[in-house]
């Protein structure tokens, strides 16, 4: 495949992943009314792991300690910690706000890449973009009125922690981008989330899993947003690089805010729209200053 064709397929995979991921904030928020955060986390990725076995039944052998350590770190950061923080954030803040907060991940990815010496010095555009993005998050938080602000700071803090975990995951050099490698990452993610699940296992409930509403939402999260999207994202990172692929996360808050308004009835007033615009503008300014 030519370099142009590789980049085109990389952007297509990135677009698919971030569009579907943008819809997961509202879906998860709906599930949190019936299930605790860790149960959603575990069932989602157990379904994703089973789906990846069905798509790629070939057994993947031991890849060596160094490669397995990278996959274990990817599973802990990009699956267990990121989604644990995201699910907790959704218990404290509106789905649209959490989607906007997570959009800061490309800024944190650039900061991490600079710390690792992978990119040139971060100029004024990066810092100005960071200030705009954080201003957009603040405006989005305030836009829902006094009632929406209750507990929002916890949701923002947890969302930023999740964005940092995702940035670290994006910068990890993975040993390949195939379905079998993604499946191994899921396995390590399930192992990493076990301690998180133990503390909440007493609150897990089987009954809601049998209802149609929670069942189809979990299938969407497990099959589309986990198995398919992680395979697509790993392909995008392999063909575009972590920093360039992270730029695609611009779409997350747009889809996230729109789906939250449609599915949850969250307010979509001028402040919310302006907050999303400021955040996107900030991330875009930062990306342009890095030549991503």
**164 contacts 78 by C-beta, under 8 angstroms:** no
Three-state DSSP state, 151? coil
- State the Cα–Cα distance between residues 275 and 259, nearest whole angstrom: 16
Identify the CA nearest to 248 among candidates 292, 278, 279: 292
Q: How many CB atoms lie within 10 A of CB 265?
A: 8
Please report, for the chain, the start and end positions of each structural domain, with discontinuous segments joined by +.
3-290
pLDDT tens digits in sequence order for the chain, 292 residues long: 677 777 888 889 988 998 899 899 999 999 998 899 999 999 999 999 999 998 888 888 888 889 999 999 999 999 999 999 999 999 998 898 898 888 788 778 888 887 877 666 777 777 787 788 777 777 766 665 555 555 578 898 999 999 999 999 988 887 776 788 889 999 999 999 999 888 777 778 877 777 788 899 999 999 999 889 988 888 888 888 877 787 777 777 888 888 998 888 887 777 777 877 887 787 777 766 655 4
Distance, CA of 175 to CA of 189 (rounded, Å):
16
pLDDT score recorded for residue 266: 84
Cα 150 to Cα 11, 54, 136, distances in angstroms: 38, 44, 18
Which DSSP string corresponds to 102-136?
HTTHHHHHHHHHHHTTSS----HHHHHHHHHHHHH
pLDDT for the residue numbered 199: 77
How many angstroms separate the Cα of 245 from the Cα of each of 59, 96, 105, 117? 29, 22, 11, 18
Residue in the structure block whose two tokens are 């964005």: 163
Q: Which residue carries 């990452």 as its tokens?
A: 185
* pLDDT, tens only, 70-92: 999 999 999 999 999 999 999 99
Work out the burial of residue 268: count CB atoms within 10 Å of its CB; fewer than 13 is exposed, 13-18 middle, 19 or more buried: middle
**pLDDT by residue (tens digit) across 182-222?**
899 999 999 999 998 887 777 788 777 777 888 999 999 99
* Residue 10 vs residues 36, 203, 246, 285: alpha-carbon distances, Å: 35, 41, 12, 22
Are 228 and 67 contacting, i.e. CB atoms less than 8 angstroms apart? no
3-class DSSP state for residue 91?
A: helix
For residue 62, the surrounding DSSP H or E stretch is none
Kind and range of the H or E run holding 213: helix 212-219
Residue that is written with structure tokens 């990890």 in the block: 172
The Cα–Cα gap between 5 and 177 comes to 17
Q: Which of these, 26, 174, 18, 33, lies nearest to 105 by C-alpha position?
A: 18
Token pair in block for residue 192: 């990493």
Spatial separation of the C-alpha atoms in residues 52 and 186, rounded to whole Å: 9
What pLDDT is stored for residue 258 in this prediction?
86
């Amino acid at each position: 495949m030519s370099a142009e064709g590789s980049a085109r397929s990389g952007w297509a995979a990135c677009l698919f992943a971030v569009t579907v991921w943008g819809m997961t904030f509202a879906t998860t928020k709906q599930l949190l009314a019936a299930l605790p955060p860790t149960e959603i986390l575990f069932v989602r990725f157990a379904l994703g792991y089973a789906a990846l076995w069905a798509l790629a039944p070939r057994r993947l052998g031991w890849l060596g300690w160094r490669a397995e350590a990278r996959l274990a770190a990817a599973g802990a950061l990009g699956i267990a910690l990121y989604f644990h923080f995201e699910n907790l954030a959704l218990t404290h803040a509106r789905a649209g706000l959490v989607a906007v907060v997570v959009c800061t991940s490309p800024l944190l990815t650039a900061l991490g890449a600079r710390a690792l010496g992978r990119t040139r010095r971060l100029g004024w555009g990066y810092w100005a973009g960071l200030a705009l993005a954080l201003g957009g998050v603040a405006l989005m938080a305030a836009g829902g009125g006094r009632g929406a602000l209750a507990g929002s700071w916890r949701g923002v803090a947890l969302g930023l922690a999740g964005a940092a975990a995702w940035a670290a995951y994006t910068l990890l050099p993975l040993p390949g981008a195939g379905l079998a490698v993604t499946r191994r990452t899921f396995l390590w993610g399930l192992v990493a989330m076990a301690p998180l699940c133990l503390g909440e296992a007493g609150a897990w409930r089987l009954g809601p899993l049998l209802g149609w509403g929670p069942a189809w939402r979990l299938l969407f999260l497990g099959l589309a947003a986990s198995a398919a999207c992680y395979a697509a994202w790993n392909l995008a990172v392999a063909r575009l690089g972590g920093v360039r692929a992270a730029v695609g996360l611009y779409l997350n808050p747009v889809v996230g805010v729109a789906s939250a308004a449609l599915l949850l009835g969250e307010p979509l007033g001028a402040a919310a729209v302006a907050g999303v615009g400021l955040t996107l503008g900030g991330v875009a300014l930062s990306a342009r200053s890095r030549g991503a």
